[in-house]
Amino acid sequence: MDEHHDQIKTPLPLLVAAALLIASVLAVTTISKLTGFGNLTVSTGTQTERLALNFRDEPDGGVGAYDPVSGEQVFEYAPGAGGFVRTALRALALDRRKAGVGPEPAYELTRTSKGQFVLHDPSTNKSITLNAFGSTNAGDFAQLFDAHNGGADG
């Protein structure tokens, strides 16, 4: 008859190697968290222009951008237009819902000296560097500066 072994023995060098791997990963992660070493930071430049805006879904299916002080509409993305704007706002709105923040606080749209556009939510401290998604998508937000300054409407 064949012998049946109920116990499987793992070689000691393999256990030691696994323990060392786990310990080194924990050490590197801890050092990175504590010192910031290895963290990527992107400089978008200095702020040259800033707009505070509220966004609302319109009854016709568009998305409206509003001045939070006056309540006046600055710009409206027509129904079916501004898909990237909707996507970026949904991402930030999800963070707001998780934090228990409603739609009232204004978002900040910033144009920087390096030509970057950053959408920032001060209530959650989350930001999206819009140029990372291409100049066309950043342009969807850039037109808000022109509309606010010149009264244009889309």
Higher pLDDT among residues 114 and 22, named by residue: 22
SS3 of residue 106 by DSSP: coil
Which are the contacts of 75, defined by CB distance < 8 A and separation ≥ 6? 64, 65, 143, 144, 147, 148, 152, 153, 154
- Which region among 10-14, 35-39, 128-132, 142-146 has the lowest average model confidence (pLDDT)? 35-39
- Could you report the per-residue pLDDT of 52-109, keeping only the tens digit for each? 999 988 898 888 899 999 999 999 988 888 888 889 988 998 999 998 988 889 999 9
pLDDT of residue 14: 93
Q: How far is CA 113 from the centre of its chain?
A: 20
> What whole-number distance in Å separates Cα of residue 83 and Cα of residue 137?
9
Answer yes or no: are the C-beta atoms of 66 and 54 closer than 8 Å: yes
C-beta atoms surrounding 78 within 10 Å: 12
Question: What per-residue confidence (pLDDT) applies to 81?
Answer: 84
In this predicted structure, what is the pLDDT of residue 57?
Answer: 86
Q: Is the pLDDT of residue 154 over 50?
A: no
Q: Where are the domains of the chain?
A: 9-40, 47-150
The answer to whether residues 84 and 137 touch, using CB atoms and an 8 Å cutoff, is yes
**What does the pLDDT look like over 110-134, one tens digit per residue?**
998 888 899 999 999 999 899 889 8
Q: Do residues 74 and 53 touch, judged by C-beta distance below 8 A?
A: yes
